[in-house]
Structure 1
Amino acid sequence: MASTLASQVVIFPFMAQGHTLPLLDLSKALSLQQIKVSIITTPSNANSITKNIANYPFINVIEIPFPTIERL
């Protein structure tokens, strides 16, 4: 009995818009092929990403905390 495994990709872009936007385009292209995509990002970047993926049900955002370091 053959089983079908769902494909899933995890994307962790460098925390800058210049890196996030191309990977967001890649995520959308993968999701159109019904591949589940998880994007790992900080809470401040999650807002803009979430707005861009509203019509892509195969993409989800995972937020990780970004530590605040004084004097940095």
Structure 2
Amino acid sequence: MYEPESKEDLYKYHKEEYKRNAELANKFNWISCCIWILIIPWLYFYIKAINHRSSYKALEKELSETPRLE
């Protein structure tokens, strides 16, 4: 634990600690932003593909159940 000798030392310590925390938060924000930019389009297309596949299967089932005219 840091024990400052004067109020100026305490102020400098907290200022440096605040700066370190701000830099870490900034890095984390950039990393999480990049991850979301990469993940969201993949999620969108994956969900779209699942919906397309399920609707295609439903249509295929409906077509197989209906009698064909010959």
Q: TM-score, normalised by structure 2?
A: 0.26
Higher relative contact order (CA 8 A, sep 6+): 1
**Larger Rg over CA atoms:** 2
Greater helix share, structure number? 2
Q: Would you tell me which structure has more strand in proportion to its own residues?
A: 1
